[in-house]
Amino acid sequence: MTFATIWFVLWGILWAAYFVLDGFDLGAGILMNFIAKNDLEKRQIINSIGPFWDGNEVWLITAGGATFAAFPTTYAYMFSYLYSALLIILFGLIFRGVSFEFRGKEENPRWKRFFDLSIFFGSLIPAVLFGVAFGNIFKGLPIDVEGYHGSLLQLLNLYGLLTGILFLSLFLYHGGLYLSIKTEGEVQKRANSFSKKFFFPLFVIAFIFLIFTPISTKLMENYLKVKILFFVPLFLVISLILSGYFTFKNKPSRGFLFSFLTILLTVITGIIGLYPNLIPSSLDQNYSLTIFNSSSSEYTLKIMTIVALIFVPIVIIYQIWVYRLLRGKVRIDDILKNENSY
Amino acid sequence: MDIVGLSRLQFALTSMFHFIFVPLTLGLSGLVAIFETMYVKKNDQKYREMAKFWGKLFLINFALGVVTGITLEFQFGMNWAEYSKYVGDIFGAPLAIEATVAFFLESTFIGLWIFSWDRVSKKTHSFFIWLVALGTNLSALWILLANAFMQKPVGYVLRNGRAEMVDFSALVFSPYGWLKFLHTNISGYIVAAFFVMGVSSYHILRKNYVDFFKTSFKIAAIFGLVSSIVVVLVGDFNGREVAKYQPTKFAAMESIWETQKGVPLNLISIPSPSQEKNSVEFLKIPKVVSFLATNDKDGEIKGLKDFPKEDRPPVLATFLSFRIMVLLGFIFIFLSLVGYYLSLKNRLEQNRLFLKIMLYSIPLPYIAAQLGWIVAEVGRQPWIVYGLMRTKDGVSKNLSTSQVLISLILFTLFYLILGIIDIYLLFKYSKIGPQKYTAMEA
């Protein structure tokens, strides 16, 4: 296996890790405005993701940085071609991030309303647009000898939107389960009932996505070449079903574990289909960005592999440790008692 | 304005805005960590409340620093795709390492620090804020090593139509990068020290929580005094590196037009770029510039006129920014020295004028930090990587002017809103003071 292939795998894992982790806090951010009926319940939700969202978002920075370091040409074109979409995602993430900190710093209801909306849109927009972006990457971008021929509106094609809706639905469901685990009382009840009600729509959307993928993209080719790979999307479907099963059995922790796996496997299913492309061209194969024509030198990839092999496991270990240390439910009483809560 | 101009303006806006919040993060994380460690050592609730009060201000500031940082990482690819493609092989690595090694550390442990006051022992808890401080400072190190590559490219060869890394250790141990790191980070410590001294002065003037703020002031004064002395010294080393490796930038910083030996320092001079000379040169100290730049009082320094016009940076902006920054650097040493002396003699309260000066000095280190970046980045022009790639060649090719114009307008608008909110909150919570502490004093 070449270093470029190793980095292709790592690239996929980093993006998958980002979606799995930020997925639940984006989902919870959208749900906040529907599940919480008053200010305290909103604070309960914010405090349940409060300690973690920032650490989760660094996976995005790392995925972006890894794209830059390992596949600079892909980084350059991915980010400049998707300029407007990324800009909107950025504004969403910026407003959302400060809202957690700012919202509780003033008692004025209009102030809080502003930041509630900013948490809502700041969670909704990245959730959908990341899906749209990846849907279009799976499908291929219109690139030829003259460069890129797409625009923001063209990204909103059927398959792009479908992937956007899929990402949104996965994150909502994932976020709902997270709230079931991390809260209690009314918020938990409503989160429970949301996850149950939402499971079937999610299942249908995932089903449509899996049907459309071989039609709209060329992702199938790798699977047909190496048939054993079909186990990955198969496990995806099994995880989703198991997640639903546990959710209905009122075991949200296990349900969450399997929604975690579902998102992970969804991203990996797509990434496997892409190989060796990072961004396929929908116009002419020769202009696809691949691990062969867009990766860094062997030397750089080697250095980056060493760094990743040492530090990524360390990060995973301390992040798990932090999650464990702060385990347990967020209670409204505790928020009121604790002056440090959001 | 064309795409290059708009993209430059956008990068300037977003990075300078980001750097309003970063320096305070760099310094205040360390100060809060010091306060909390003093709480652990002395077991005095005062220090716990100090960590909490300054910690709250730290967090308000931190939030905007974090989110505006994402913009910068995205922007290399969004607006500077040709640059990213050309140098990504070597420039991407420090950015990826920054995220993996440093940014995770600060972002994970800041969340833990906020939420674990009552969950772990106080010693463990103070360890978390030290990890945050370490993370923020390491983060700056990698970013500055990346920036140092743009100033003085090292460790690469030109191959396959791009700059490829051949020597990672040259990049990591670039003396230019480490001097830049020290100069920039420690300037952040000055920002934090003056922030704490200024806010403390406000409360001492009003006789609020006097003991609390006198202690804060004293610790910040020591921190500020050491930092401002070190910054000036490191700045001097930094200047020598610039003189050696970026002669056009150095000539612009000092506004030297003619190549000459034994260059004097004109305490007052006014450059006139159109005439390629200084219209005023006043209060000459012989040979100082040559000595500072080359360690030899008769050393030769190349003047701007010896470089083709298309290779020269904007002189006036570089020169003025540099001059004012240096002047401010000496003012910081003086003010922290006086502050430390008065703290030591316990005479702060009697010197109301000094306290007022300190209150209104809060913005000065911020200004110095911004000016420093102007010297570094405007002085580097017309190069995006000094001597290797011109800024105009680095811009993305597929963008339209209107696209960048719209994004620039949106950045300006949104950053203005967020900046106002953040500064409003910093004011508000600075003024409120450590409420819990009043209860304790009573």
DSSP assignment of B220-284: HHHHHHHHHHHHHHHHHHHHHHHHHH-HHHHHHHHT--S-EESPPEEEEEEEEGGGTEEEEEEEE
CA–CA distance, B290 with B298 (Å, rounded to integer)? 6
Q: CA distances (Å), A236 to each of A22, A249, A265, B73, in order?
A: 19, 20, 5, 32
- Give B-chain residues touching A72 at CB under 8 angstroms: 84-85, 87-89, 91-92, 162
* B166 to chain A: closest CA residue: A299
Contact, B29 vs B97, CB < 8 A?
A: no
Q: What are phi and psi of B119, to 5 degrees?
A: -100, -25
- CA atoms within a 13 Å half-sphere pointing along the CA-CB vector of A306: 7
Residue B42: which region, alpha, beta or left (left: phi > 0; alpha: psi -120 to 50)?
Answer: alpha
CB contact under 8 A, B71 and A62: no
CB contact under 8 A, A68 and B76: yes
Q: CA distances (Å), B131 to each of A155, A282, B36, B59, B152, in order?
A: 42, 46, 13, 15, 31
Q: Give contacts of B 146-185 with A, CB under 8 A.
A: 159-160, 162, 164-166, 168
CB contact under 8 A, B111 and A50: yes
- The radius of gyration computed from the CA coordinates of chain A, to the nearest angstrom, equals 20
> How far does B256 lie from chain A, in Å, by closest CA?
38
Q: Give contacts of A 198-257 with B, CB under 8 A.
A: none
Tell how strand B156-159 and strand B162-165 pair up: antiparallel
- Give B-chain residues touching A87 at CB under 8 angstroms: 78, 407, 410
- The radius of gyration computed from the CA coordinates of chain B, to the nearest angstrom, equals 23
CB contact under 8 A, A72 and B70: no
Q: Which of B69, B89, B101 sits opposite A311 (nearest CB)?
A: B101
- Give B-chain residues touching A61 at CB under 8 angstroms: 69-70, 73, 99, 103
Q: Which residue(s) pair with A263 in the sheet?
A: none
Q: Is residue B340 classed as helix, strand or coil in its secondary structure?
A: helix
Question: What does chain B come to in residues?
Answer: 442
Residue A64 touches chain B, beta carbons under 8 Å: yes
- Give B-chain residues touching A80 at CB under 8 angstroms: 77-79, 81, 396-399
On whether ipTM exceeds 0.85, the answer is yes
- Give A-chain residues touching B414 at CB under 8 angstroms: 91, 94-95
Return the domain boundaries, chain B: 3-259+302-441
Listed in sequence order, the residues at least 6 apart from B105 whose beta carbon sits closer than 8 Å to its beta carbon are: B131, B132, B134, B135, B138
Contact, B197 vs B217, CB < 8 A?
A: yes
- CA atoms within a 13 Å half-sphere pointing along the CA-CB vector of B325: 26
Q: How many CB atoms within 10 Å of residue A113?
A: 11
Residue type, B267: L
Contact, B148 vs B174, CB < 8 A?
A: yes
- Give B-chain residues touching A303 at CB under 8 angstroms: 93, 165, 168
Residue A152 touches chain B, beta carbons under 8 Å: no
Residue A311 touches chain B, beta carbons under 8 Å: yes
Residue B293's pLDDT is: 87
User: According to the 3-state scheme, what is the secondary structure of A87-110?
Assistant: HHHHHHHHHHHHHHHHHHHCCCHH
Residue B294's pLDDT is: 87
Q: Is residue A39 classed as helix, strand or coil in its secondary structure?
A: helix
- Interhelix angle B352-360/B175-205, nearest 10 degrees: 130
Per the structure block, which two tokens stand in for B429? 């919570």
Per the structure block, which two tokens stand in for B339? 């502050």
CB contact under 8 A, A105 and B98: no
CA–CA distance, A43 with B68 (Å, rounded to integer)? 24
Q: Give contacts of B 349-408 with A, CB under 8 A.
A: 396-399, 403, 407
Contact, A122 vs A92, CB < 8 A?
A: yes
Residue A118's pLDDT is: 96
> How far does B100 lie from chain A, in Å, by closest CA?
6
Exposure string (b/e) for B367-381, b if CB count within 10 Å is 16 or more?
A: ebbbbbbbbbbbbbb
Residue B436 touches chain A, beta carbons under 8 Å: yes
Question: What does chain A come to in residues?
Answer: 342
CB contact under 8 A, B108 and A147: no
Burial class (CB in 10 A: 0-12, 13-18, 19+), B270: middle
CA–CA distance, A188 with A176 (Å, rounded to integer)? 9
Q: Which residue(s) pair with B28 in the sheet?
A: none
Q: Which of A86, A315, A338 sits opposite B100 (nearest CB)?
A: A315
CB contact under 8 A, A105 and B60: yes
Cβ-defined contacts of B357-360 (< 8 Å, 24+):
B358/B194, B358/B197, B358/B198, B358/B200, B358/B201, B359/B198, B359/B199, B359/B201, B359/B202, B359/B205, B360/B198
CA–CA distance, A193 with B399 (Å, rounded to integer)? 46
CB contact under 8 A, A303 and B93: yes
Q: For residue A116, which of A37, A210, A229 has the smallest C-alpha distance?
A: A37
Residue B441's pLDDT is: 46
Residue A80 touches chain B, beta carbons under 8 Å: yes
Going residue by residue through chain B, which has 442 residues, state the pLDDT in tens, using 9 for 90 and above: 899 999 999 999 999 999 999 999 999 999 999 999 999 999 988 999 999 999 999 999 999 999 999 999 999 999 999 999 999 999 999 999 999 999 999 999 999 999 898 889 999 999 999 999 999 999 999 999 999 999 999 999 999 999 999 999 999 999 999 999 999 999 999 999 999 999 999 999 999 999 999 999 999 999 999 999 999 999 988 998 999 999 999 999 999 999 999 888 888 899 988 888 888 888 888 888 888 888 888 888 999 999 999 999 999 999 999 999 999 999 999 999 999 999 999 999 999 999 999 999 999 999 999 999 999 999 999 999 999 999 999 999 989 999 999 999 999 999 999 999 999 999 999 999 887 655 454 3
Residue B112 touches chain A, beta carbons under 8 Å: yes
DSSP assignment of A239-276: HHHHHHHHHHTT-HHHHHHHHHHHHHHHHHHHHHHHTT
Q: State the DSSP H helix or E strand holding residue B300, giving kind and residue range, or none if neither.
A: strand B300-301
CA–CA distance, A31 with A119 (Å, rounded to integer)? 10
* B68 to chain A: closest CA residue: A94
Residue B288's pLDDT is: 86
Q: Which of A54, A75, A303 sits opposite B111 (nearest CB)?
A: A54
Q: Tell me: the pLDDT tens digits for B144-163?
A: 999 999 999 999 999 999 99
Q: Is the dihedral of CA A200, A201, A207, A210 positive or negative?
A: negative
Per the structure block, which two tokens stand in for B59? 């967090």
Q: Which of A87, A296, A315 sits opposite B88 (nearest CB)?
A: A296
CA–CA distance, B116 with B110 (Å, rounded to integer)? 10
Q: For residue A71, which of A223, A273, A274, A270 has the smallest C-alpha distance?
A: A274
End-to-end CA distance of chain A: 48
Residue type, A284: D
Give chain B's largest Cα–Cα span.
Answer: 72
- Give A-chain residues touching B165 at CB under 8 angstroms: 296-297, 299-300, 303
Q: Tell me: the pLDDT tens digits for A210-233?
A: 999 999 999 999 999 999 999 999
CB contact under 8 A, A98 and B76: no
Return the domain boundaries, chain A: 3-337
Residue type, B43: N
Residue of B84, B90, B132, B401 to mutate, interface with A, max A Cβ within 10 Å: B84
Q: What are phi and psi of A284, to 5 degrees?
A: -155, 115
CB contact under 8 A, B96 and A60: no
CB contact under 8 A, A105 and B111: no
Q: Give contacts of B 196-235 with A, CB under 8 A.
A: none
- Give B-chain residues touching A97 at CB under 8 angstroms: 63, 66-67
Q: For residue A341, which of B61, B430, B56 has the smallest C-alpha distance?
A: B56
> How far does B248 lie from chain A, in Å, by closest CA?
29
CA–CA distance, A150 with B266 (Å, rounded to integer)? 56
Q: For residue B237, which of B287, B183, B318, B190 has the smallest C-alpha distance?
A: B183
Query: Is the bond into B382 cis (omega within 30 degrees of 0)?
Result: yes
Q: Is residue B163 classed as helix, strand or coil in its secondary structure?
A: strand
Burial class (CB in 10 A: 0-12, 13-18, 19+), B158: exposed
Residue B266's pLDDT is: 87
- Give A-chain residues touching B70 at CB under 8 angstroms: 57, 60-61, 90, 93-94
A/B interface, count of CB pairs below 8 Å? 224
Query: Is the bond into A276 cis (omega within 30 degrees of 0)?
Result: yes
Q: For residue B117, which of A325, A160, A56 has the smallest C-alpha distance?
A: A325
* A100 to chain B: closest CA residue: B63
Q: CA distances (Å), B266 to each of B257, B275, B316, B328, in order?
A: 13, 18, 15, 17
CB contact under 8 A, B421 and A98: yes
* A69 to chain B: closest CA residue: B92
Per the structure block, which two tokens stand in for B86? 């050309």
Question: For chain A, which residues score pLDDT lower than 70?
Answer: none
* B131 to chain A: closest CA residue: A318
